[in-house]
Structure formats: structure tokens, C-alpha cells
């Protein structure tokens, strides 16, 4: 890899430069080779003991990023995959909220479309909007749990349900907010809550293990879930 074959001769890649008038493909091949040559020492690929592979080359070019601490809050467990996507964007504050659209001159207002009382930011939409928090409070009453911690004395199953329920709630609020922008009418919180409970109940019912602890069983019965 430290060498490049050119017109039957081998030249050091860090020496060889393709002529400016050479073929576009050839110049790009040389560019890639030049980049990868930084991963070699004494002709050996230094990022994998087994030698160069497409995967190790790709990882090296991408750069190694440590996993974010909160990835388990968003992926895996009982969380619905499409809810994970919205959860991921919320963690990165990457949803196109009106606050952001207004800042970029795309929206003529930054007001929350659900309550019309405050700026529609990520924090507002999911944790302080009057419309949303009413739904969250009712959801927590139904579950007999605080969806967003502390979860110290909760069973493993209850913790799984809390993670799943929180992202289901965020997904439903974000969907509702998008529908409202298009249809210009706000659904009653009780209707949104009813749909949210259906989603959560269905998810628990589908993923329930064959055996559950008696304390979990009592809790599930209180949610009208058969076990």
C-alpha cells in the first residue's frame, strides 16, 4: 500500500503526484490512496492486526467516536423503532421546531402550535407545554409510574415500560404538532391520550414474557393487560 504502480514502475505514494492533465478517475484513485497511506507504517496497516480490511479502513477514515451516554435511553428495550428515531432527534435537538424555523426565516412565528403560549422549543414541546404535560400527567396516572425518573424502586419491567412510554409520548406529541400545522386544528388532549395508551398497552401485550413476577402481574392487571 505504501507503493503505487504506475506505467510498470513502483513509486512511493507519498512521492508520486498524478500530472494535473491526467485522467479524472486516476487523480481520484491517487487521492484516496494518498489518504489511506497515512494508516500504514513500514508497509503494514496499523489499525488492525489482521491487516487492511474495508471495515477497518472505513472506521479509520470516519474517526472513532465514543458512544454517547444516553444511547440506551433511545434504542433497544421495548422502544418502538420509529419512536427511537424521533427520540434520537430530540436528544440532538435536531427536530425542526418553530423556534428553529423562525430563526432561519422559514416560519413567520415561533409560537407553539399546541398551546400558542410560548416559544416552540424542544424543551417546551415535551416538558412544559400545557397541552403536552396534561397528557403526560394523565399517562403517568394510568401507569402509576413517573415516566421520567426517578426509577430507583421500579421493577426491571417497569423501567422498560417507562423508557418505551416516554418515547411513545414524544412521538405522539410530535406527530400531533405536525398534524396541527397542516390541519390548523388541535385535537382534544383526551383523544391523544386514548391513542397513546392504546399504543403502549399493545406494545406491552406483544412483548410480555411468558412468566412475570407476581408484583408485575398485579401492576399489569391494574393497566387492564392480561398476563
Which residues are near Zn ion by CB under 5 A? Answer: 112, 114-115, 129
- What is the smallest separation between the CB atom of 129 and Zn ion, expressed in angstroms? 3
Which residue in 113, 121, 127, 68 sits closest to 95, CA to CA? Answer: 121
Nearer to Zn ion by Cβ, of 176 and 216: the residue is 176
Query: Could you tell me the smallest distance in angstroms from the CB atom of residue 105 to Zn ion?
Result: 22
Positive or negative torsion for Cα 38, 44, 48, 54? positive
User: DSSP letters of 109-158?
Assistant: --B-TTTSSSB--HHIIIII-HHHHHHHHHHHHHHTS-TTS--TTS-HHH
Distance of alpha carbon 31 from alpha carbon 226, whole angstroms = 62
Question: In the bound complex, what is the minimum distance in angstroms from residue 124's beta carbon to Zn ion?
Answer: 6
- C-beta of 120 vs 216, nearer to Zn ion: 120
Between 45 and 131, CB nearer to Zn ion: 131
Task: Please classify residue 58 by burial: count the beta carbons closer than 10 Å to its beta carbon, then call 0-12 exposed, 13-18 middle and 19+ buried.
Answer: exposed
Q: Which is nearer to Zn ion, 115 or 192 (CB)?
A: 115
Cβ 168 to Zn ion shortest distance, Å:
19
- CA proximity to 84, closest of 144, 154, 166: 166
CB of residue 222 vs Zn ion: minimum separation in angstroms? 31
CB closer to Zn ion out of 101 and 227 = 101
Amino acid at each position: 500500500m505504501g507503493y503505487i504502480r504506475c506505467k510498470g514502475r513502483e513509486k512511493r505514494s507519498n512521492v508520486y503526484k498524478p500530472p494535473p492533465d491526467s485522467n479524472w478517475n486516476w487523480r481520484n484513485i491517487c487521492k484516496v490512496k494518498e489518504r489511506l497511506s497515512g494508516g500504514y507504517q513500514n508497509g503494514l496497516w496499523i489499525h488492525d492486526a489482521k491487516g487492511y480490511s474495508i471495515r477497518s479502513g472505513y472506521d479509520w477514515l470516519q474517526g472513532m467516536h465514543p458512544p454517547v451516554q444516553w444511547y440506551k435511553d433511545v434504542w433497544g428495550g421495548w422502544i418502538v423503532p420509529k419512536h427511537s428515531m424521533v427520540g434520537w432527534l430530540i436528544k440532538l435537538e435536531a427536530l425542526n421546531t418553530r423556534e428553529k424555523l423562525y430563526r432561519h426565516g422559514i416560519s413567520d412565528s415561533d409560537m407553539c402550535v399546541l398551546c400558542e403560549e410560548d416559544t416552540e422549543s424542544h424543551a417546551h414541546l415535551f416538558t412544559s407545554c400545557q397541552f403536552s404535560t396534561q397528557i403526560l400527567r394523565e399517562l403517568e396516572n394510568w401507569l402509576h409510574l413517573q415516566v421520567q425518573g426517578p426509577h430507583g424502586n421500579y421493577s426491571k419491567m417497569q423501567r422498560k415500560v417507562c423508557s418505551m412510554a416516554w418515547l411513545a409520548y414524544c412521538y405522539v406529541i410530535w406527530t400531533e404538532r405536525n398534524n396541527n400545522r397542516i390541519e390548523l386544528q388541535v385535537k382534544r388532549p383526551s383523544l391523544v391520550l386514548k391513542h397513546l395508551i392504546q399504543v403502549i398497552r399493545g406494545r406491552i401485550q406483544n412483548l410480555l414474557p411468558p412468566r412475570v413476577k407476581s408484583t408485575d402481574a398485579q401492576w399489569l392487571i391494574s393497566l387492564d393487560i392480561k398476563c
